[in-house]
Structure 1
Amino acid sequence: MTTLPPLPMARPKLTALARQKLPCSSRDIPRSQLIKEKDDIDHYLEVNFKGLSKEEVAAYRNSYKKNICVDMLRDGYHKSFTELFSLMEKWDALREAAKVRSLLWVQRPLEEQPDKLDHFYYYLTRAEAAERKEYFEDVYNNLYALACYFNNSEDKWVRNHFYERCFKIAQLIKIDGGKKEAEAHAHMGLLFEEEGQLLEAAEHYEAFHQLTQGRIWQDETGHFLNLLACESLLRTYRLLSDKMLENKEYKQAIRILIKASEIAKEGNDKKMEGEACYYLGLAHLAAGEHETALTVLNTYIKISTDLDDDLSLGRGYEATAKVLQSQGQMMEAIKYLKKVVKIARNNFQSLDFVRASTMLGDIYNEKGYYNKASEYFQQAFDMTAEIMNMLLMDETKVHYGIAKAHQMMLTVSNYIETADLTSLDCLLSWKERRSDIAPDPIIGESRRSTMEGLCQTSEHSEDLNGFPDNQKKDLNQLLTQC
């Protein structure tokens, strides 16, 4: 077979220049010439071939995250690159940790979220440029913009990072009278509050409150910063007092709630002042200081009445009923609880209705008024069934069952005590049917006489001694109704 000679191949200039730099090339080309030829290739691509530039090639070849980092370094923003690189490392570490803990973890890698990378590049570089010129307010604004952008449950740790950066920068701002510093304290207080570090949160909120006193500063939504400081302090003090009450540190809890009440008055917000009184009253109740609790709760009720706030009024009535119940003033407690039931029914507050009805049922059941107890327990149970709250339904069902059992037990006891043929027939009929047993009218009269006789016993007289005359009259009326 005849072997044909190789065909001469005409190569374009781009290929010819590229082949000269291949390792198999026998020519020793100086470095300066290589650089010149590389520039010739780039120029040829851009002018003659109309192809991609070096930047465009890199953009397609590298990940978006890498391109962002390269742009930062090329533009001279080395601090921004360092901070971004540190955040990306922490991001990956948190992803891996979450991946180990949860099979349902679906958070995307940072390189798959170009919008977030764009925000990092834009605001970090602007903040660094402003910091070089010592425009610290601009630095703060750019870092705060990043904190706001990452203010979501998935990226909250990024938000907290920039809150801390804002706090450090705010210390350097001297031209705004301390407004940025006050805002930074508010953000740090929120950070610690969300992490459950309430003492640290209270320190920052106190600084926030102190810096905003006498100022008319407003946030971006138009709310006064001083009012926000008061609300934040009250919320933190209340959480602290809850922990103190759990540990039976009543004096400390009352002391901190008194401080909260004073701050609420400074805020010139009646609703906030009322809330402070409410929790202070509950603290006095927990400490056994019933008279003081009633005084403070009466203030809360008055404020709620002035504000025409039915829901707050219902809370005040319920708390007052608990105090009166602790004092043994059952008739007064019943009056307040009936008001709570009425308010809850009118305002469609199902849980409040259930709670107040259950409390009324407990009082009547404890005093032996089983018909009334059954009535209130039944309406509590019906409401839980209506709202499909299974946990409360089970609880109220037990209360209702106990009251019904007491009610039936009383009737059966009366039949047994009567010991006549009619009573015996009723008992036998009930045992066969196992349904509700109706009291006999004659036995009902006997029961009424018995209850009236109870009023004359020494034990019942002791119960009545704690009531005013008008309450004794009401109690006697209840007894005669049975």
Structure 2
Amino acid sequence: MATAAEIHLPEINPQSSSIVQQAPQQDYPVHLRGGGGSQEDPEDDPEEFSPRADDGKGAGALLNRYDVDRFRKSFLNIIYVAMLEEGYNKSYKELFNLVTNQVTRRERAGPNSFIWFRPLLRDNRNHLETLSYFLCRCEEAERVGNLNKMYAERLMLAEYFKEQKNGELATHFYQSCLRISNDIDDDGLTHAQANCLMGDDVFSRGHTEEALEYFENYYSLCRDSPEWSNNDGVSLVQDACVKLLQVYLKIGDECLVKDDQKTAVAYYRKADEFAAASGMPDQEAHTGYKLALSLMHIGSYTEAIEKFKKYRDKCYEIRDYEGVGKAVDNISKALVRQGRKKDAIAYLSQYANEAKSSGHLVSYSEACASLAEIHNNIGNFTEAFDQSEESFNTLREATDSQVSSSFDTIMTQFGICRGNEIAFSMFNIIENQDKASIADMISWKNGRILPDFQKYDSEKKVKTPAARATKKEKSNVEFLNRETSNPFELNEIRSATQKASKDDEGNEPDTEHPEEENNEEN
């Protein structure tokens, strides 16, 4: 069985030794002239037919036919003639088709398309010389049946055009590598690598479905050979798992854009399976977080909580404490949506204490902010204000407020919780309707002097109009049977109660003159 060490593919280092530097950079392709021509032919001897060193004062300088062709013909025509002279018919045919097809597509697209403004291959001297150089070498390898060298030469061309950001030519040579790899007898190792390269190429251009097919072939070929590895020492099986989960995540994200939540969850599940098979904690954490979020969106809160807990454990493993905070916050939100608000508060409080004791002040601040949000939603405005104040002060001390992304959000939440606390306390003052309360209201109106809210907050909660309404009134007003501690709903409930009472008073029967009513009915 072949191993990765037996396959020696040429490496490309664009910084030091570019592919262009490997090909001859002369006015005429020397590799197509048989090493500079035969010295026995006087017409091809550059020394005998070189210009005379008499500064042009002699009878005239003699030039060989290569120098003449350089001025008479284009560089593309010179390469065509040289290929045919040297017998590289297949290389000539492939180069001719590449140049002709590009011109045909350009003419078909028209002058209003972006293809029209792309530089043509026939006008790029470096590309033409590089193509002729490696295509001829590939044809020589084909003549002797050296498939590994054919694969290597075409892979060099693919990598060169990928470096030059020419996607069409890069894809063409990646496809030719894939075809050649089918015939290489090394138990499928080269074919697996070719599928991987082809998948990377199409995935980089946004063709996710096509990339998925190549990566699945890549995984199936190397799944039973865990000893195969790439040049970086990474197992090919692990590499295939990572590439597959990236494609599945990409397709899942595309489904979310189309608002297809269930299909996105299905693709995220596949990505989670390959993340677990890869054995990489960072990939498992990233994939599990996306799956848990999508499960929350479709209402699977119980499973979402389990996935968030796994994500939390992976974040602890890779020491990603910011990820731990995100997991705890989302677990508390899922518990709230399940109606388990007390469990959510207890869970957040426990995490906040652990974060504070371990010195992770930013995580402690975020946990306090989440607690403030829950208390604010259930009407515990005093507790919400205390938690938001703690979150605000902790974050201000722990980070630079100018660079912290969450500082503005927590500062806004702090203001909202403070406003709700003041509004609720003022409403209690209004409901008491005694002299002390009226004096506090006047001082607030005149100078915006806040009264002592503690004496009002500690008193018995003021009953809302819904609690004082009669059974008859509750039947006429749908939401009067709901107790609320939100001050912004009380005015609405009070006005509805008064309206219902007026309607009932207008419809009350006249008990003093029942006979007149009976006569009118008759």
TM (normalized to structure 1)?
Answer: 0.67
Aligned to 2:17: none
Matched, 1:423 2:441: yes
| Residues 102-141 of structure 1 aligned to structure 2 (within 5 Å) | 110=121, 113-141=124-152
**1:452 to partner: Cα distance:** 10
Correspondence for 2:291 among 280, 299, 304: 280
Correspondence for 1:168 among 167, 176, 179: 179
Matched, 1:386 2:402: yes
Higher relative contact order at CA 8 Å, sep ≥6: structure 1 or structure 2? 2
**1:91 to partner: Cα distance:** 5.4
Q: For residues 365-407 of structure 1, what are the alpha-carbon distances to aligned partners after superposition, in whole Å with 9 as ceiling and x for unaligned?
A: 3233252576489689988972497xx9998887666555434
With over 3 angstroms needed to count, the CA separation of the structure-2 counterparts of 1:46 and 1:425, relative to structure 1, is closer
Runs of 5+ in structure 2 lacking a partner? 1-41, 53-59, 468-480, 486-522
2 CA distance for matches of 1:274 and 1:43?
A: 70
1 CA distance for matches of 2:163 and 2:404?
A: 32
2 CA distance for matches of 1:253 and 1:428?
A: 58
**1:420 to partner: Cα distance:** 2.0
* Aligned AA (1:305): Y
With over 3 angstroms needed to count, the CA separation of the structure-2 counterparts of 1:57 and 1:337, relative to structure 1, is farther
1 CA distance for matches of 2:173 and 2:458?
A: 74
* Aligned AA (1:59): R
Residues 158, 173 of structure 2: 8 Å contact kept? yes
Matched, 1:366 2:377: yes
Matched, 1:190 2:200: yes
With over 3 angstroms needed to count, the CA separation of the structure-2 counterparts of 1:42 and 1:377, relative to structure 1, is closer
1 CA distance for matches of 2:355 and 2:111?
A: 52
With over 3 angstroms needed to count, the CA separation of the structure-2 counterparts of 1:113 and 1:312, relative to structure 1, is farther
**1:202 to partner: Cα distance:** 1.9
**1:145 to partner: Cα distance:** 1.4
**1:137 to partner: Cα distance:** 2.2
Residues 373, 403 of structure 1: 8 Å contact kept? no
* Aligned AA (2:402): E
1 CA distance for matches of 2:313 and 2:187?
A: 39
2 CA distance for matches of 1:145 and 1:191?
A: 15
Q: For residues 228-257 of structure 1, what are the alpha-carbon distances to aligned partners after superposition, in whole Å with 9 as ceiling and x for unaligned?
A: 100011111222333445666665544444
1 CA distance for matches of 2:307 and 2:63?
A: 78
Residues 325, 367 of structure 2: 8 Å contact kept? no
Identity %: 24
* Aligned AA (1:420): I
Residues 242, 274 of structure 2: 8 Å contact kept? no
Q: For residues 257-313 of structure 1, what are the alpha-carbon distances to aligned partners after superposition, in whole Å with 9 as ceiling and x for unaligned?
A: 444444334333344344443333334323322222222332332233234343443
Aligned to 1:449: 459
**1:163 to partner: Cα distance:** 1.7
1 CA distance for matches of 2:182 and 2:411?
A: 60
Aligned to 1:57: 68
Residues 222, 236 of structure 2: 8 Å contact kept? yes
Runs of 5+ in structure 1 lacking a partner? 1-37, 431-437, 463-482
* Aligned AA (2:446): L
Residues 364, 372 of structure 1: 8 Å contact kept? no
| Residues 50-449 of structure 1 aligned to structure 2 (within 5 Å) | 51-89=62-100, 100=112, 110=121, 113-152=124-163, 154-173=165-184, 175-215=185-225, 216-244=227-255, 252-333=263-344, 362-368=373-379, 369=381, 371-372=385-386, 375=389, 386-387=402-403, 402-403=416-417, 405-417=419-431, 419-430=437-448, 439-441=450-452, 443-449=453-459
1 CA distance for matches of 2:337 and 2:403?
A: 30
With over 3 angstroms needed to count, the CA separation of the structure-2 counterparts of 1:39 and 1:194, relative to structure 1, is closer
With over 3 angstroms needed to count, the CA separation of the structure-2 counterparts of 1:305 and 1:347, relative to structure 1, is same
Residues 361, 376 of structure 1: 8 Å contact kept? no
With over 3 angstroms needed to count, the CA separation of the structure-2 counterparts of 1:123 and 1:366, relative to structure 1, is same
SS class of match (2:87): coil
2 CA distance for matches of 1:252 and 1:176?
A: 39
SS class of match (1:83): helix
2 CA distance for matches of 1:283 and 1:152?
A: 37
Residues 358, 380 of structure 1: 8 Å contact kept? no
With over 3 angstroms needed to count, the CA separation of the structure-2 counterparts of 1:88 and 1:377, relative to structure 1, is farther
**1:98 to partner: Cα distance:** 11
Residues 208, 251 of structure 2: 8 Å contact kept? yes
2 CA distance for matches of 1:218 and 1:253?
A: 32
Higher helix share: 1
1 CA distance for matches of 2:429 and 2:319?
A: 52
Residues 284, 290 of structure 1: 8 Å contact kept? yes
SS class of match (1:386): coil
CA RMSD of aligned residues (A): 4.8
Residues 186, 204 of structure 1: 8 Å contact kept? yes
**1:347 to partner: Cα distance:** 8.6
1 CA distance for matches of 2:136 and 2:462?
A: 87
Residues 368, 388 of structure 2: 8 Å contact kept? no
Residues 46, 64 of structure 2: 8 Å contact kept? yes
With over 3 angstroms needed to count, the CA separation of the structure-2 counterparts of 1:148 and 1:357, relative to structure 1, is farther
With over 3 angstroms needed to count, the CA separation of the structure-2 counterparts of 1:371 and 1:314, relative to structure 1, is closer
2 CA distance for matches of 1:346 and 1:150?
A: 52
TM (normalized to structure 2)?
Answer: 0.62
With over 3 angstroms needed to count, the CA separation of the structure-2 counterparts of 1:122 and 1:357, relative to structure 1, is farther
